[in-house]
Amino acid sequence: MFGSGKNKITLESEVYEIVKQASELSGCSSVEEFASQILMRESQAIVSNQSAVKTESSDVAKITEKLRGLGYLE
Amino acid sequence: MTKKKLLCQIAPYVLVAAAAVVSLPIEAFAYIGPGAGFALIGSSFVFVGTAILGVLTILLWPFIALYRLVRGYGVPRNARARRVVIVGLDGLEPKITEQMMDSGELPNLAALRASGDYTRLGTTLPALSPVAWSSFQTGVNPGAHNIFDFLTRDKRRYLPVMASTEQRKVSAKGLMKLVGLSRDREEVHITRRSKPFWKILGERGITSNIVRVPISYPPEPFYGNILSAMCTPDLKGTQGSFSFFSTDTKAADGTGGQFRPFSRSGATLIAEIDGPPSADGGNLKARVELHVKEHSAQLKIGESTCTLNVNQYSDWQTLEFKVGKAVIRGIVRFCLRSIEPAVTLYVTPVNVHPEFPALPIAAPLSFAKYLVKMQGLFGTLGLMEDTWGRNEHAINDDLFLAQSYLAHEEREKMFFDSLKNTSAGVVACVFDASDRIQHMFWRYQDKDHPAEKESNPNSYSTIHEMYKKMDGLVGRIKKQLKPSDILIVMSDHGFASFRRCIGINAWLHQNGYLVLKEGTKPGTDYLRDVDWSKTKAFALGLSGLYINLKGREVNGIVSKDEMPALKAEIARKLSELRDPKDNAPTINKVHDTAVAYRGLYASEAPDLIVGYLPGYRVSWDSVTGTVENEIFSDNLKAWSGDHHVDPELIPGVLFCSRKLTQKAANIVDIAPSVLSVFKQPIPKYMEGKVIF
């Protein structure tokens, strides 16, 4: 409940202004949402290129279990 | 000022204070599995903190009231209504609604149409509840709110995952870690982005009561109350796992691992019900005892007992799961299915206990506890109606219907309580029974449907009766409204028959876009036998196809330059797909999401979305990535109606107690229209227009 993993990063004012402008143009509800998504997307692309993950049968079992009861699935 | 009046004025601030304690921090999250999360939420710390903050809030109340007055908080005097009341009837089909209104069978809806307005409501691409209700909340297309389906894919594994939540590892740090109040843990976050209109209203001091609007788990705190809906898990962490116990070992050996044999102790039958995941990889268990009599059975849970009659649901019963010194509580309903020749017992999924919630099912959490005090225990699972249990014959049609209406009655009580307690602002509630009943009973009104029909003649009029029941609800709501209120009755999509299944992965395989590893045959699920080095496209989820794009999917082979032509080729060929049974066309349109969506998350969407014609849907197995042998098959399940057809063919309904300013309405129009009623500026990112 406490220390929920929110960290701050500092941007130069000029960078912030461009980020803000881009956020508005892309239809985001806030600058924070925009910045988080862009950083996440770019970072994930780098990380996933480095680390293909082998699917184990335990992964499949876990997924099957989690999706149980959704109705739209077998 | 009387004491009662003073208490009434103070109460909201005390609730807000309680919310501040139990819902810190602002980011919405949920603990998954037992452990520190359960222990902390249930600890006395929360209650002591709440009491202290409550006292502080009472003392600060005059200053807060003055501040709000100066800032112009609350519903402004020039607002076009004091309250906007939104009644969501999930999946209400316009053609049936219009026909029944015209024949006089839905008098309340017909009167609403006559005194106010009615139109068909455009829905989202695809016409799925999580997608459509997300657009309802935010006023944006899926490309800007990030929900495209129930499922999305793990790009590193090519596996389906729930689209509306994600797990994140959070490391403890700082003082809280040092004093042992915080530790590393996993949290669940909502992945629906953008901002619900009630959050925007809340920032301007206008309160809302939001009851069971889909895609609200985990709930995001705001100035008001919210009870989570669709995709809220059970205590096992699944979307709803029923249990079925039997003395017949054959019956106990059914599919899905939920069918279990009773164990015995003399004449007593013992059932062990799975609860939250345990540290050893299994599940915590709750034990119940069954003493069978001639026509009924006595159920013993701990020290309490209740009588079970054949094919009748029990009231909600509390189960306790012990983990160390902590107790995690859940609630279930039991249904004794038979005594002879075998004793069989159906148990609903273990819902999060609303009075002692182990997961954050409401914001503030005290809202769920308050509702328990007002109406008793209620189900908290996202999808309350056990369609899986019915598909697997753990319950029959009558019991499915009874279960749906039990959930509906609980929802009505919550809604009317919220309506009574909201003097100004928004009350929104989504009723799901209309959707689930149409899913499961459509085969009775489609004489050509291939699925099995049960012998109860009443089943043929179940959908018809359900529409009348919803009309009755609207009538009772109208009686509670004032002239200064606006009433909206709406559905997120319509409904159609689902007779034939289309194996999209089988089609991709047979057309050379999806290649299996050498030596393997079709039939394996979760795309496990796919040769990714040769595969150009795959399907996961209810309507989406993905290109195996280089740099995005972990083993992608298609370059960005090749992608547009490949998408166009697949879309063209798939659109021409005909049913070999009668040579009928099957697909209305295959949509390129690069064209259909706008927004920051558009690149997360499937690359193509299939808009089926009525009668068709993706096959059950293809949803989770099975490459089947055959492209077409009959849908033999009780789940016989669906709405995955092209959005332009399956709009919802929209009734408004005032005249609509435009007849061409879309679900994205609701959010900006509500803001407009309260004279609030509409954010530039919202795409909808003001229609009331």
Q: What is the pLDDT of residues B474-497, one digit of tens each?
A: 999 999 999 999 999 999 999 999
**pLDDT interval class at B24 (50, 70, 90):** very low
Mean pLDDT of the B113-136 span: 98
pLDDT in tens, B442-475: 999 999 999 999 999 999 999 999 999 999 999 9
Other Cβ atoms within 10 Å of B377 Cβ, number: 18
Alpha-carbon distance of B619 to B673, in angstroms, equals 38
User: For position B461, what pLDDT does the model report?
Assistant: 97
Interface of A with B (CB under 8 A): 1-6, 24, 26-30, 33-34, 37-38, 41, 44-45, 48-49, 51-53, 55, 59-60, 63-74
B170 contacts on A by Cβ (under 8 Å): 3-5
Percent of residues, chain B, with pLDDT higher than 90 = 81
pLDDT (0 to 100) of residue B55:
87
Above 60 in pLDDT, residue B649? Answer: yes
Out of B23-32, B421-430, B576-585, pick the least confident.
Answer: B23-32
Beta-carbon count within 10 A of B45 CB: 13
Place of tokens 């007002």: B374
Of A26, A45, A64, the CB nearest to B551: A45
Residue for token digits 């291939």? B450
Lowest mean pLDDT of A46-60, B185-199, B501-515, name the range. A46-60
pLDDT at B279 over 50: yes
Chain B, nearest residue to A32 by Cα: B194
Contact indicator for B331, B381 with CB cutoff of 8 Å: no
Pairing of strands B485-490, B83-89: parallel
Residue A3 pLDDT class (50, 70, 90 cuts): very low
* Mean pLDDT for the stretch of residues B361-385: 97
Sorting pLDDT into bands at 50, 70 and 90, what band is B23?
Answer: very low
Q: Which residues of chain B are within 8 Å of residue A7 when distances are taken between CB atoms? A: none
Which pair of tokens denotes residue B409? 């009655």
**pLDDT for res B25:** 41
User: By C-alpha distance, which of B471, B477, B403 is closest to B436?
Assistant: B403
Interchain proximity A74–B168, CB inside 8 Å: no
Contact flag A71-B687 (C-beta cutoff 8 Å): no
**Closest chain A residue to the Cα of B37, Cα to Cα:** A1
Q: Which of A23, A29, A54 to mutate to test the interface with B (most CBs of B within 10 A)?
A: A29
Is residue B639 pLDDT above 50, yes or no? Answer: yes
Beta-sheet pairing, B615-618 with B641-642 = unpaired
CB contact under 8 A, B239 and A49: no
Residue-wise DSSP of B198-229? HHHHHHTT--EEEES-SS-SSPPP-SEEEE--
Which 3-state string (H, E, C) describes A23-64?
Answer: HHHCCCCCHHHHHHHHHHHHHHHHHHHHCCCCCCHHHHHHHH
- Residue B96: partners with Cβ closer than 8 Å, 6 or more residues away: B463, B467, B495
Task: Categorize the per-residue pLDDT at B34 as very low, low, confident or very high, splitting at 50, 70 and 90.
Answer: very low
Query: What is the per-residue pLDDT for B293?
Result: 92
Q: Cβ B162–A66 below 8 Å, yes or no?
A: yes
DSSP element (H, E) containing B654: strand B652-656
Region B548-574: mean pLDDT is 96
Q: Do B600 and A24 touch (CB under 8 A)?
A: no
Mention every residue, 6+ apart, whose C-beta is less than 8 A from residue B660. B117, B119, B654, B691, B692
Is the model's pLDDT at B46 over the cut of 70? no
User: Model confidence at B13, in pLDDT bands (50, 70, 90)?
Assistant: low
3-state secondary structure B541-556: CCCEEEECEECCECCC
Q: Is the pLDDT of residue B385 over 60?
A: yes
Position B665 pLDDT exceeds 50? yes
Identity of residue B669:
D
- Where is mean pLDDT largest: A56-65, B39-48, B622-631? B622-631
Q: Greatest CA separation found in chain A?
A: 52
- CA atoms of B398 and B401, how far apart (whole Å): 5
Residue B228 in contact with residue B218, Cβ under 8 Å? yes
Residues of B in contact with A28 (CB under 8 A): 144, 193-194, 599-600, 685
Mutation choice for B interface testing from A34, A50, A51, A74 by most B CBs within 10 A: A74
Taking contacts as CB-CB distances below 8 angstroms, the residues of chain A near B144 are 27-28
Residue of B nearest to A55 (CA): B157
Q: Name the helix (H) or strand (E) containing B688.
A: none
- Name the closest residue on chain B to residue A25, using Cα atoms: B685
Supply the pLDDT for residue B255.
53
What pLDDT, on a 0 to 100 scale, did the predictor assign at position A49? 58
Beta carbons of A63 and B159 less than 8 Å apart: yes
Q: What is the pLDDT of residue B60?
A: 87
**Residue range B431-449, pLDDT digits in tens:** 999 999 999 999 999 999 9
pLDDT computed for residue B256 by the predictor:
52
Please state, in angstroms and rounded to a whole number, the distance separating the CA atoms of residues B514 and B580. Answer: 21
Q: Which residue of B has its CA nearest to A60?
A: B526
> What distance in Å separates residue B404's CA from the closest CA in chain A?
14
Q: Distance (Å) from the C-alpha of residue B108 to the closest C-alpha of chain A?
A: 31
pLDDT of B257 above 80: no
The pLDDT score that the predictor gives to residue A40 is 86
User: CA-to-CA distance for B596 and B384, rounded, in angstroms?
Assistant: 32
Residue of A nearest to B436 (CA): A71
The whole-angstrom distance between B61's CA and the closest CA on chain A is: 26
Q: What is the mean pLDDT of chain B?
A: 91
Residues of A in contact with B155 (CB under 8 A): 44, 48
Element (H, E) at B499: strand B496-502
Q: What is the pLDDT of residue A52?
A: 61
- The answer to whether the CB atoms of A73 and B24 lie below 8 A apart is no
**pLDDT for the residue numbered B202:** 96
Describe the crossing of helices B3-22 and B365-375 by its angle, rounded to 10 degrees. Answer: 130
Q: How many pairs of residues across A and B have Cβ atoms under 8 Å apart? A: 151
Is residue B18 pLDDT above 60, yes or no? no
pLDDT interval class at B31 (50, 70, 90): very low
The beta-carbon neighbor of B623 closest among A41, A65, A73 is: A73
Q: Is the peptide bond prior to B341 cis by the omega test (within 30 degrees of 0)?
A: yes
- Predicted pLDDT at A51: 60
Reported as a pLDDT band with limits 50, 70 and 90, residue A74 is: low
Nearest to A48 among B238, B387, B554 (CB): B554
- Cβ contact (<8 Å) for A2 and B194? no
Model pLDDT, residue B188 = 87
The verdict on whether omega for the bond into residue B357 sits within 30 degrees of 0, i.e. cis, is no
* Integer Cα distance of B667 and B201 in angstroms: 19
Q: Which residue has the higher pLDDT, B251 or A20?
A: A20
- pLDDT bracket for residue A50 (50, 70, 90): low
pLDDT per position as a tens digit, B396-409? 999 999 999 999 99
* pLDDT tens by residue, B165-204: 988 777 777 777 777 777 777 788 999 999 999 999 999 9
Q: Closest partner residue to A70 among B173, B182, B239, by Cβ?
A: B239
Residue B651 distance to chain A (closest CA, Å) = 20
